[in-house]
Structure 1
């Protein structure tokens, strides 16, 4: 195994602890290099986007190589190494991802953006593994805001016989990903009530067409359901709802 192979392996292993480090950084970062990252960027499907990374001081250089890496993280997944040594693609990374830069200014460019590229991206000084703070959330636009279709599924008769009532709302193919579902019972949709009723929302799934689908579940006692309590699912953005 060459020295470079060993270093790449170490870089990849760093991703296993990046999630924990990233979480801790939100409140107590005291590292020697900090990274300025703007928060969110967007691109049309098939477009090109450039993400700029600026560090508080020049990153470490070894044998004329800048020790800076780029990572991609999707919901519920560990960070994935995209670029190491500022401009070298990791194994298996598509050619549409390119890195460049030196000293304290670096860029990640994604050409021909695909729906699957929607994720959080962040750069990190490899000499200071705890240098990354936050990241850029890339939203891939597919032609404007699209209201997801809502379908509410009532509890089954078998479940009602067991004294329980589970309602499920399916949100299908919406864009962007920040639509929010909430249940209303007797006209109330407070967060405290949502917790008491056992409302749960599943993570969003990115479809191949660049839109998002997900579901939300509400659990009620069967006797409350039998009282024909008004129950609706509200989709926040334009405040539409489906009962």
Structure 2
């Protein structure tokens, strides 16, 4: 079992690994308990898995405050195999990934099940009950570092294939697995060096903000930050209303009427 995540260079990193004899709920509970102990009792805020029932129960028990998200790729694959309707898969993907409000999601979901005639399908009903684990509308505000699938973990498995083989014994496996982890850490050190030296060329109209980002963020995060600044150039503030606890802004995109 691999516990992987994303570092400050947007690279895949390995937090921990465990060897288990079976994929049972008891095994998962034990592994998560050991992981929690190794992390000094600090549980993750967000977790993404493929939806294994035993793992889901273990996460609820050991990481009760973590938001458990289901892998988008696995959900789409299950939609294809359970419904066998390309139109449903297309509409479901939009329901899952669209950055919309909750009431908009509910309207969209109702229209989808009505159009595809799947309202009474048990799998679809179960999927709807789990909407807090996959619908962007219900997940908004939770931090997942831009991850929606377990593809990073799958990619990590492919990297492991370069270092370990099925013929290895336990000692050989552990030794070569550590070589893989060392390889990932060397890549992180290289990115760390590149972020500490050199200054990126400034490109936006927000010179001071861009300079601040260049000094505070790693290069990979700075490039993402700069993309946000570039998008801000396309928006104009039309109105500002004071509300309890803050302000509400009405903005216009591309300075075109009706695009608010």
TM-score (norm 2): 0.21
More helix as a share of residues: 2
More strand as a share of residues: 1
- Identify which of structures 1 and 2 has the higher relative contact order when contacts are C-alpha pairs closer than 8 Å and 6+ apart: 1
